[in-house]
């Protein structure tokens, strides 16, 4: 049940809007400024569209398009004019927003970053995409983990970006940290359609969480993005699904209280608990070991596949082979945020 897309909002509900944003073409600083203004206009549309909406979510590449251009001129900064404008829009329209930026990185390639901003203009979550879509994307691998934040109406939110959602470990990490609603923003095109749908459903069911996922939409003259925003319930069923109409905002009421109830009360298929309590009918508390070789090997730094892999850099997509080694995770940076709530 989606409360007729949130028109009939319950006391416990969180109404989310997914914007199937028209795929932009951004080549210059002026283009970036104009696209930022367009996204801010759509924040206002979301508020006017539905007074019950708590959170509006924009897809990956909402400001930059799909060119993979890393020119410094069109990269963003957390304290730059683009992020300031997005924060101002949330504050002006009194709505939470989820946004995508390609962020300048003085130490390497830019980051593909995501932000959740509250209805007073404060940044509540800052995330760097852990799994760029190799070999196509040139972005620096994320190094601040998978954060979770308090969201509207007592909810817990996480954000994963596009290819992140193809790794079951990403949604599991978000849920393990308490996320009840897992947002997934993307710029995917039609060849990924089936994988998009099944992973959104699986990520929800396997973690007893809602997933709310949206792609860019339409064509920029070169690429065609598919839109197809979708909400999945914690039992894996699709609650609301969008089509391919650019700039359409699809909405749904989500009930985090029902997620909490399921996580506490379910016996059958409470998989996020049962992962570490195997066979608790037979042995007290269940088996609490790690039987998975890949987990042990990854933690020990010896992860190796038992087959060969041909594509291991971005040269097939026109990028030079990298020479830098990954520097490792870093402490989550403090987000510049000197503003006070009104």
Just list the catalytic residues. Answer: 60, 129, 162
Interatomic CA distance for residues 234 and 232, integer angstroms: 7
Residue 288 CB contacts under 8 Å (≥ 6 apart), including other chains? 276, 277
Which tokens go with 249? 């905002």
- In the block, tokens 């064509």 appear at 219
Q: What is the torsional sign of CA 55, 160, 158, 328?
A: negative
Of 162, 172, 164, nearest to 131 by C-alpha is: 164
Residue 9 backbone phi and psi in degrees, to 5: -85, 130
Burial readout 143-178 (b: 16 or more C-beta within 10 A, e: otherwise):
bbebbbbebbbebbbbbbbbbbbeeeebbbbbbeee
């Amino acid at each position: 049940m989606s409360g007729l897309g949130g028109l009939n909002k319950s006391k416990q509900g969180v109404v989310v809007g997914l914007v199937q944003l028209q795929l932009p073409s951004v080549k210059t600083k002026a283009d970036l400024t104009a696209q930022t203004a367009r996204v801010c206009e759509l924040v206002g549309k979301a508020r006017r569209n539905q007074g019950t909406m708590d959170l509006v979510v924009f897809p990956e590449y909402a400001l930059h398009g799909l060119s993979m251009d890393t020119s410094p001129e069109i990269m963003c900064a957390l304290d730059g004019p683009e992020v300031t404008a997005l924060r101002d829009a949330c504050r002006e329209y009194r709505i939470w927003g989820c946004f995508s930026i390609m962020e300048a990185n003085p130490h390497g390639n830019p980051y593909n970053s995501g932000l959740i901003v509250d209805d007073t203009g404060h940044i509540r979550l800052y995330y760097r995409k852990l799994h760029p879509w190799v070999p196509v994307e040139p972005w620096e691998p994320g190094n601040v983990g998978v954060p979770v934040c308090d969201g509207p109406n007592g909810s817990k939110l996480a954000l994963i970006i596009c290819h992140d959602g193809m790794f079951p470990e990403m949604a599991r990490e978000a849920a393990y940290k308490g996320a009840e609603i897992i947002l997934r923003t993307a710029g995917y095109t039609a060849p990924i359609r089936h994988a998009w749908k099944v992973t959104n459903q699986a990520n929800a069911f396997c973690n007893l969480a809602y997933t709310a996922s949206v792609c860019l939409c339409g064509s920029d003259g070169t690429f065609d993005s598919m839109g197809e925003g979708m909400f999945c319930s914690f039992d894996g069923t699709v609650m609301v699904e969008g089509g391919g109409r650019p700039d359409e905002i699809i909405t749904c009421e989500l009930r985090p209280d029902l997620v909490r109830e399921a996580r506490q009360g379910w016996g059958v298929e409470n998989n996020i608990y049962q992962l570490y309590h195997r066979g608790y009918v037979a042995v007290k508390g269940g088996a609490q070991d790690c039987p998975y070789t890949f987990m042990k090997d990854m933690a020990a730094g010896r992860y190796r596949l038992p087959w060969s892999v041909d594509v291991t850099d971005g040269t097939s997509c026109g990028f030079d082979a990298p020479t830098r080694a990954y520097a490792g995770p870093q402490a989550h940076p403090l987000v510049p945020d000197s503003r006070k709530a009104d």
